[in-house]
Amino acid sequence: MESRALLLLLLIGSMMIGGIKCTTTIFEFTNNCQYPVWVGTLSGAGTPALNQTGFYLPEGKSVDLSTPRSWSGRFWGRTGCAADPDTEKFRCETADCATDAVACDGHGPTPPVTLVEITLGGGTSNDYYDVSLVDGFNLPISVEPVDGTGDCKDTACSANLNTDCPDDLKVTASNDTAVVGCKSACDAFEEPIYCCTGDYGSPSTCGPSNYSQIFKEACPSAYSYAYDDASSVFTCVGASYVVTFCP
């Protein structure tokens, strides 16, 4: 009798573990940069906030984060972060989420920022994912689907755009002249022709600019401007994902 009860408990436990696996997607974040990165996460409208909305990722380390199978949101890396010794407010040189803390708590990043955008299909329909430079660039990122079905291609912006950033898009560190980010033309000039707004608010009226083409040439699979869908959105079904900073 005891052995049958134990077997039943083991079976229930196995079913529960299986259920958890079927209802979550695992993201592995790996930092290959020669400096620490503070990861930021932001859930899309109508999807729950994750258990961690910001966390520290040391050089050479990896951290796993689970999301619901049906979820959408953004991930990014913040650089040059520290707490002010006087106020204890946490700030970052790039992609700060302006919460004065490591957690972003529903706040998005301050451009320029390299973004990973993803919408999960629940394990049976397509996931849609991309690396976006629409809000500029602060560090290289790649996304690799693992154990999925379908097209499931890797995507990335592996180049360091800070080294070849046009002068009028450069963002420098607060305490020296080192380039730490490269703005998008929309953020730099706030003109509809670059932002794809107003009279330029459709794919037929808003095409690539000289600035976005610089991004596209360096990172062919990444979004370079708002309507760069055809070569920049990728799909996979039921995968887990590896997000690598400085691939």
Please determine, for residue 6, whether its predicted confidence score (pLDDT) is greater than 60.
no
Domains in the chain: how many in total? 1
Percent of the chain scored above 70 by pLDDT? 91
Say if 171 falls within a structural domain.
Answer: no
* Ranges 2-16, 118-132, 178-192: which has the least confidence: 2-16
Is residue 132 one of the residues assigned to a domain? yes
- In this structure, are residues 62 and 243 in contact, taking their beta carbons and an 8 Å threshold? no
Task: Name the 3-class secondary structure at 50.
Answer: coil
Burial tier of 120 (Cβ tally within 10 Å: 0-12, 13-18, 19+): buried
82 pairs with which residues across the strands? 91
Question: Which pLDDT band, with edges at 50, 70 and 90, does 109 fall under?
Answer: very high
Determine the average pLDDT of the residues in 203-217.
96
The first and second tokens of residue 5, run together, are 């009860």
Task: Flag whether 9 is in a domain.
Answer: no
In tens, the pLDDT along 62-100 reads 999 999 999 999 999 999 999 998 899 999 999 999 999
| Segments forming the whole domain that contains residue 119 | 25-160+218-245
Q: What is the pLDDT of residue 55?
A: 98
Confidence class of residue 16 from pLDDT cuts 50, 70 and 90? very low
Give the model's pLDDT for residue 175: 79
Q: What is the pLDDT of residue 20?
A: 41
pTM for this one? 0.89
Say how far apart CA 134 and CA 216 lie, in whole Å. Answer: 11
User: Which pLDDT score is estimated for 139?
Assistant: 98
What distances in angstroms separate CA 175 from CA 101, 125, 171, one per listed residue? Answer: 21, 48, 12
Q: Which of 170, 166, 226 is nearest to 195 (CA)?
A: 226
For residue 147, the one-letter residue type is: D
User: What band does 22 get if pLDDT is binned at 50, 70 and 90?
Assistant: low
The chain-wide mean pLDDT, for the chain, equals 91
Q: Where would I find the beta strands (DSSP E) of 120-226?
A: 127-132, 141-146, 155-157, 170-172, 179-182
Per the CB < 8 A criterion, the answer to whether 160 and 140 are in contact is: yes
Of 234, 226, 237, 222, nearest in space to 204 by CA: 226
Q: Is 135:115 a contact under the CB 8 Å cutoff?
A: yes
Domain membership of residue 55 (yes or no) is yes
Half-sphere exposure of residue 193, counting CA atoms within 13 Å on the CB side?
Answer: 4
Beta bridge partners of 39: 55, 77
Q: pLDDT at residue 245 above 50?
A: yes
CA angle 17/124/14 to nearest 5° reads: 10
| Interatomic CA distance for residues 73 and 60, integer angstroms | 25
> 234 has which bridge partners?
129
How is residue 121 written in tokens?
């299909």
Count the helices and strands in the chain (H runs, E runs).
4, 15
Over residues 105-116, the mean pLDDT reads 97
Question: What CATH number does the domain containing 227 carry?
Answer: 2.60.110.10
- pLDDT reading at 185 higher than 80: yes
CA dist 92 → 30, 44, 56, 81 (Å):
19, 23, 12, 4
